[in-house]
């Protein structure tokens, strides 16, 4: 079934749901979703609850998507808002810590994941032992398990359009990521009544970009919740400036995979812009791979890694039609709670120079930022292999999540 067909069916279901009769109440706190993967992500066909962050259904899971230090991890489908402002289903994971909840309920860390791809199969909540992109999800497990051991719930949104078949994934569109990150905290409270209202937001790379936007949106989107802190590991930023440099990169490399995903995501929020009209023929021929493959192969020589970034765009064409969207998604935003940014000096995916530029932009908006650089840390290593960064993040969160 095509995405367009699924969107039409989704619209019809939503329209019909206004007059539908809800099923009988379950003895559980939420409706239990089906075991079948496709059926789970397509969502229930009965009426949806009003509001954002409402659990459509959830199911306890095991395997690589479950965190070992959790009492239970649930795959969840919940309501959020899409780039067009309409209510949509978003998938994710909620992990509940072991032990007794403290007075006021468990605190929550809402985690924004790093890049996994654009295809539905690339959603972190869909990862299996045989998934080719598994390492792009599980590298953060040690961090998340450590937070569970501290007695914090860990909620992980897949983001709009990843996992669920109804929408395309607007990669690195900050408002979309931010809504997913916030609304899954509400969903966690619908899964277990012992989950409290206080939470922090954290994320890496794409998810750090989303974490900063979530921090800026939190007070408006979810005033009933209590945001305490934001932690961003190597946040993506300055995408417009990076797009303007593509013409200088004449050697094939993996950055072409990231560049095409950014272009595809921004095109979804750029009315009147046609990505097909500006791409080179070799790039257009590879576009279908974005609907079936994940980050581990999109940037490889079997896909976009075979092209130089400069060769993504046809002669005489440019990406200037995307510049307004790219500029709008720069995460130099105002955040009302203390914010920690951790950056690796040896990062060749999110370059330190761009994060250096981001800090004064955040401070200029009134955000209280603590910025720490670890000179030898690379992109994944800032999360997985830098003990001093782990200690800094943990102490920062612990102080604010009292």
**pLDDT for the residue numbered 9:** 35
Nearest 5°: CA angle at 62, between 59 and 65? 90
* pLDDT for the residue numbered 117: 98
Is residue 316 classed exposed, middle or buried when 0-12, 13-18 and 19+ CB atoms within 10 A define those classes? exposed
pLDDT tens figures, 217-252? 999 999 999 999 999 999 999 999 999 999 999 999
Residue 28 has pLDDT above 70, yes or no: no
Q: What is the mean pLDDT of the chain?
A: 93
Q: What is the pLDDT of residue 46?
A: 81
Cβ atoms of 390 and 396 closer than 8 Å: no
- Domain boundaries in the chain? 3-237+335-400, 239-327
275 to each of 112, 238, 280, 284, how far by Cα in Å? 27, 20, 10, 9
Which residues are bridge partners to 204 per DSSP?
233
Closest CA to 11 of 122, 89, 126, 103: 89
Q: What is the pLDDT of residues 142-160, one digit of tens each?
A: 999 999 999 999 999 999 9
Beta bridge partners of 365: none
Q: Which residues of 110-121 are buried (b: 16+ CB within 10 A; e: fewer)?
A: bbbbbbbbbbbb
Q: Which long-range contacts (CB under 8 A, 24 or more apart) does 366-371 make?
A: 366/334, 367/333, 367/334, 367/335, 367/339, 368/335, 368/337, 368/338, 368/339, 369/339, 369/340, 369/341, 370/338, 370/339, 370/340, 370/341, 370/396, 371/341, 371/343
Tokens of 201: 């937001």
Structure tokens at 327: 């500029």
Contact 256, 299 (CB under 8 A): yes
Q: What pLDDT is attached to residue 333?
A: 98
d(CA 121, CA 69): 25
Considering the domain 3-237+335-400 in this protein, what is its CATH number? Answer: 3.40.50.1820
pLDDT, tens digit, 9 for 90 and up, residues 71-85 = 999 999 999 999 999
How much is the pTM? 0.93
Give the per-residue pLDDT at 1. Answer: 40
Q: What are phi and psi of 163, to 5 degrees?
A: 95, -60
Q: Can you say how many angstroms the Cα of residue 349 is from the centroid of all Cα atoms in its chain?
A: 17
Percent share of the chain, pLDDT over 70: 93
């Amino acid at each position: 079934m095509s995405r367009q067909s699924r969107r039409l069916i989704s619209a019809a279901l939503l329209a019909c749901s206004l007059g539908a009769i809800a099923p009988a109440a379950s003895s559980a706190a939420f409706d239990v979703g089906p075991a079948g993967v496709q059926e789970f992500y397509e969502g229930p066909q009965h009426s949806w609850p009003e509001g954002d962050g409402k659990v459509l259904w959830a199911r306890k899971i095991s395997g690589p998507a479950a965190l070992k230090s959790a009492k239970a991890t649930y795959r969840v489908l919940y309501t959020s808002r899409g780039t067009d402002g309409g209510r949509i289903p978003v998938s994710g994971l909620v992990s509940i810590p072991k032990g007794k909840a403290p007075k006021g309920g468990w605190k929550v860390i809402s985690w924004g994941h790093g890049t996994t791809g654009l295809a539905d199969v690339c959603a972190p909540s869909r990862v299996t032992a045989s998934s080719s992109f598994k390492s792009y999800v599980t590298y953060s497990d040690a961090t998340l398990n450590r937070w569970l051991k501290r007695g914090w719930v860990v909620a992980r949104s897949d983001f709009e359009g990843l996992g669920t078949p109804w929408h395309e994934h607007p990669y690195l569109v900050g408002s979309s990521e931010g809504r997913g990150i916030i609304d899954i905290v509400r969903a966690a409270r619908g899964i277990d009544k012992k989950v409290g209202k206080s939470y922090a937001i954290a994320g890496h790379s794409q998810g750090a970009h989303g974490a900063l936007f979530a921090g800026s949106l939190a007070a408006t989107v979810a005033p009933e919740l209590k945001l305490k802190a934001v932690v961003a590991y190597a946040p993506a930023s300055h995408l417009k400036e990076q797009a303007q440099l593509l013409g200088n990169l004449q050697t094939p490399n993996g950055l072409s995979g990231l560049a095409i995903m950014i272009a595809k995501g921004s095109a979804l929020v750029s009315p009147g812009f046609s990505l097909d009209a500006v791409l080179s023929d070799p790039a257009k021929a590879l576009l279908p791979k974005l609907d079936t493959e994940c980050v581990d192969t999109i940037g490889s020589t079997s896909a976009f890694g075979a092209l130089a970034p400069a060769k993504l765009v046809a002669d005489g064409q440019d990406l200037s039609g995307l510049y307004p969207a790219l500029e709008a998604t720069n995460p130099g935003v105002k955040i009302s709670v203390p914010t920690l940014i951790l950056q690796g000096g040896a990062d060749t995916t999110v370059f330190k120079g761009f994060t250096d530029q981001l800090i004064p932009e955040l401070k200029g908006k009134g955000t209280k930022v603590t910025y720490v650089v670890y000179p030898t840390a690379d992109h994944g290593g800032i999360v997985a292999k830098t003990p001093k960064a782990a200690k800094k993040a943990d102490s920062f969160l612990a102080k604010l999540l009292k």
